[in-house]
C-alpha cells in the first residue's frame, strides 16, 4: 500500500467515525449534568435553622428518586440527586446554588425552598440559564416567564387562594365585617394582598388587620381583639401551630364568625385534631393536595400508591405531615418533565418541556386538580377546591376553582 492509499483509507475511516458520531449526537443532546447514564439534579433545602420542618420535602424527594432509580431510571438514566442545606439563610443559598451549578454541574436546580432564598438565586440562575424549576414557595412572583424564563413555580400561589376566599365572601356575605389575622412576613403579607385585591373596591369590609410575629408564644390576645372589633368573618392566615391555637381560643371565648383558614394549615392531623374537632366545625378552607390524615382517602388508589412508596423507601416518614405529600407530588412532576425530554436533555429543552405540561393528573392531587403550563403560564398548579370541616374530615364543595395570578 502506498502512502497515499494509506492516507485515503485513514481519512475515510475517520470520516465514517465522524459521521457516525455526529449522527449519534443529533439524536442525543446533552447539557452539563446529563449523560447517557445519569441526570444530575440539584436541590437546596433548609435542613437546619428556623424552617427545618420543611427539610422532609428534600428527604421525600430523595426517597422518590431512589424508587425511580430502582425501577430503572428515566429513559435508562439514573437520577443523581444532590441536595444541600442553606438553613433558610439567603447568602448561604447563593453559595449552595453556585456550588450546585459551578462545582457539581447539575442540569437543573429543582424545588429550592423559601421565598427569600429563591429570590436570592433567581437572577443568578437566570443569567446562567440554569432552570430554577418548581420552586417550593407560594409567592406570586414566580410566574413571570417574560422576565425570568428560567424560573418556574409549582403550587397555587398565596394570592390566588385569598382571592378565591374574597370572591366567596363577596358573593355569600356581601355585608360582612372581616377580621384578618396574619403572620408578619412575606407569606402573611402575600395572602393579605390577595384578599385585598380580591375585595377590590370593597376593601373597607376589613375592619381589623392583626399581625403576629412567628416568634410569638401565643396569639390569644389577638383573637380577643378581633372578637372585640365586631368582625363576623375571620380570615385566618396562620401557620399550623397558631392556627390550632386560634381555633381553640375562638371556641373558648365563644366567638363564632365565618372562619376561613388558609390551606397552609388545613391539615387534619396537625391542626384540626389538636384544636379539637368540635371547635373546628364549619371552618372553610381550600386545598389542592390530598390530606393523608383525612379518612376519606383511605381506599383511594393514589393514596395507596403513596403509602406503598413510603413503606418501601421512606418508612420513617411522618404520614401526617403534608410536606411529605408535597415532596412526593413535586418529585413526580419533575420525573414527568424529564420523561418528556426524552434524549434531548438540554437545559433549554427541560424548560420547554416544563412549559408544556397538559392536564397532568398526579396521585397526590385532589380529583379534578390538574397540572397545566404553557409558554406564558409558569404556574403549574393553579387550581383549588373549597372545603368545609364536617365531623372529622374536610368535605369538598363547589367546583375546582382557578385563580391564576401573574407575577
Identify which range of 16-24, 121-129, 147-155, 339-347 contacts another protein by CB under 8 A. Answer: 121-129
Q: Is 235 helix (H, G, I), strand (E, B) or coil?
A: strand
| 313 in contact with another protein (CB under 8 A) | no
In the complex, least distance from residue 123 CB atom to another protein, rounded to whole angstroms: 6
Sign of CA dihedral 337, 340, 343, 345: negative
| 67 in contact with another protein (CB under 8 A) | no
Which residues, in sequence order, are CB contacts of 298 under 8 Å at separation 6+? none
> Torsion angle of alpha carbons 78, 79, 80, 84, nearest 10°?
-170
d(C-alpha 45, C-alpha 54), whole Å: 8
Judged by beta carbon, residue 33 or residue 302, the one nearer another protein is: 33
| 213 in contact with another protein (CB under 8 A) | yes
| 158 in contact with another protein (CB under 8 A) | no
In the complex, least distance from residue 85 CB atom to another protein, rounded to whole angstroms: 5
Q: Is 287 helix (H, G, I), strand (E, B) or coil?
A: strand
In the list 29, 66, 99, 396, the residue contacting another protein (rule: CB under 8 A) is 99
| 189 in contact with another protein (CB under 8 A) | yes
Identify which range of 97-105, 153-161, 336-344, 390-398 contacts another protein by CB under 8 A. Answer: 97-105
| 276 in contact with another protein (CB under 8 A) | no
What angle separates helix 322-341 from helix 347-354, to the nearest 10 degrees? 120
Residue 141 vs residues 115, 334, 337, 351: alpha-carbon distances, Å: 9, 21, 22, 18
H/E run at residue 6 = helix 3-27
d(C-alpha 142, C-alpha 136), whole Å: 10
Adjacent-strand bridge partners of 394: 389
| 122 in contact with another protein (CB under 8 A) | yes
Which residues, in sequence order, are CB contacts of 90 under 8 Å at separation 6+? 116, 117, 119, 120
In the list 89, 286, 287, 332, the residue contacting another protein (rule: CB under 8 A) is 89
**Does residue 152 contact residue 142 with C-beta atoms inside 8 Å?**
yes
CB neighbours of residue 205 within 10 Å: 20
**Does residue 56 contact residue 321 with C-beta atoms inside 8 Å?**
yes
Residue 247 vs residues 216, 255, 268, 280: alpha-carbon distances, Å: 17, 10, 13, 6
In the complex, least distance from residue 127 CB atom to another protein, rounded to whole angstroms: 9
In the complex, least distance from residue 311 CB atom to another protein, rounded to whole angstroms: 20
Judged by beta carbon, residue 88 or residue 242, the one nearer another protein is: 88
In the list 40, 44, 63, 85, the residue contacting another protein (rule: CB under 8 A) is 85
Judged by beta carbon, residue 184 or residue 239, the one nearer another protein is: 184
What is the DSSP secondary-structure string of 216-229?
Answer: -S--HHHHHHHHHT
| 87 in contact with another protein (CB under 8 A) | yes
Judged by beta carbon, residue 186 or residue 197, the one nearer another protein is: 186
| 90 in contact with another protein (CB under 8 A) | yes
Judged by beta carbon, residue 122 or residue 349, the one nearer another protein is: 122
Identify which range of 14-22, 120-128, 232-240, 305-313 contacts another protein by CB under 8 A. Answer: 120-128
Judged by beta carbon, residue 71 or residue 213, the one nearer another protein is: 213
Judged by beta carbon, residue 82 or residue 355, the one nearer another protein is: 82
d(C-alpha 61, C-alpha 46), whole Å: 14
In the list 40, 42, 47, 79, the residue contacting another protein (rule: CB under 8 A) is 47
| 95 in contact with another protein (CB under 8 A) | yes
| 126 in contact with another protein (CB under 8 A) | no
**Does residue 131 contact residue 346 with C-beta atoms inside 8 Å?**
no
d(C-alpha 71, C-alpha 83), whole Å: 21
Identify which range of 117-125, 235-243, 270-278, 354-362 contacts another protein by CB under 8 A. Answer: 117-125
| 241 in contact with another protein (CB under 8 A) | no
Judged by beta carbon, residue 27 or residue 215, the one nearer another protein is: 215
Q: Rounded to 5 degrees, what angle do the CA atoms 271, 273, 279 make?
A: 90
Interface with another protein (CB under 8 A): 47-50, 59, 83-85, 87-91, 94-95, 98-99, 101-103, 115-116, 119-120, 122-124, 184-186, 189, 213
Amino acid at each position: 500500500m502506498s502512502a497515499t492509499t494509506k492516507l485515503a483509507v485513514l481519512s475515510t475511516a475517520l470520516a465514517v467515525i465522524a459521521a457516525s458520531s455526529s449522527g449519534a449526537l443529533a439524536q442525543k443532546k446533552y447539557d452539563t449534568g446529563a449523560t447517557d447514564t445519569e441526570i444530575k439534579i440539584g436541590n437546596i433545602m433548609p435542613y437546619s435553622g428556623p424552617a427545618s420542618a420543611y427539610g422532609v420535602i428534600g428527604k421525600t424527594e430523595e426517597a422518590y428518586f431512589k424508587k425511580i432509580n430502582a425501577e430503572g431510571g428515566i429513559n435508562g438514566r439514573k437520577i443523581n440527586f444532590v441536595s444541600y442545606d442553606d438553613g433558610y439563610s439567603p447568602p448561604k443559598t447563593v453559595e449552595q446554588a453556585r456550588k450546585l451549578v459551578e462545582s457539581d454541574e447539575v442540569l437543573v436546580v429543582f424545588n429550592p425552598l423559601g421565598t427569600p432564598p429563591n429570590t436570592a438565586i433567581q437572577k443568578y440562575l437566570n443569567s446562567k440559564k440554569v432552570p430554577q424549576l418548581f420552586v417550593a414557595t407560594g409567592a406570586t412572583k414566580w410566574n413571570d416567564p417574560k422576565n425570568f424564563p428560567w424560573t418556574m413555580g409549582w403550587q397555587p400561589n398565596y394570592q390566588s387562594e385569598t382571592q378565591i376566599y374574597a370572591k366567596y365572601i363577596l358573593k355569600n356575605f356581601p355585608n360582612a365585617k372581616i377580621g384578618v389575622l396574619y403572620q408578619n412576613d412575606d407569606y402573611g403579607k402575600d395572602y393579605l394582598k390577595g384578599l385585598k385585591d380580591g375585595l377590590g373596591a370593597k376593601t373597607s369590609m376589613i375592619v381589623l388587620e392583626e399581625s403576629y410575629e412567628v416568634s410569638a408564644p401565643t396569639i390569644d390576645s389577638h383573637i380577643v381583639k378581633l372578637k372585640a372589633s365586631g368582625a363576623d368573618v375571620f380570615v385566618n392566615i396562620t401557620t399550623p401551630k397558631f392556627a390550632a391555637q386560634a381555633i381553640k381560643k375562638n371556641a373558648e371565648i365563644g366567638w363564632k364568625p365565618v372562619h376561613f383558614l388558609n390551606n397552609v394549615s388545613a391539615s387534619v392531623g396537625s391542626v384540626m385534631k389538636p384544636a379539637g374537632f368540635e371547635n373546628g366545625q364549619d371552618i372553610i378552607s381550600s386545598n389542592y393536595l390530598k390530606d393523608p390524615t383525612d379518612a376519606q382517602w383511605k381506599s383511594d388508589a393514589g393514596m395507596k400508591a403513596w403509602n406503598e412508596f413510603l413503606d418501601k423507601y421512606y418508612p420513617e416518614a411522618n404520614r401526617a405531615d403534608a410536606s411529605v405529600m408535597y415532596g412526593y407530588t413535586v418529585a413526580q412532576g419533575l420525573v414527568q418533565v424529564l420523561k418528556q425530554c426524552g434524549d434531548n436533555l438540554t437545559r433549554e429543552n427541560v424548560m420547554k418541556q416544563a412549559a408544556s405540561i397538559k392536564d397532568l393528573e398526579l396521585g397526590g392531587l385532589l380529583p379534578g386538580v390538574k397540572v397545566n403550563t404553557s409558554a406564558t403560564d409558569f404556574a403549574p398548579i393553579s387550581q383549588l377546591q373549597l372545603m368545609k370541616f364536617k365531623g372529622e374530615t374536610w368535605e369538598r364543595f363547589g367546583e375546582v376553582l382557578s385563580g391564576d395570578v401573574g407575577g
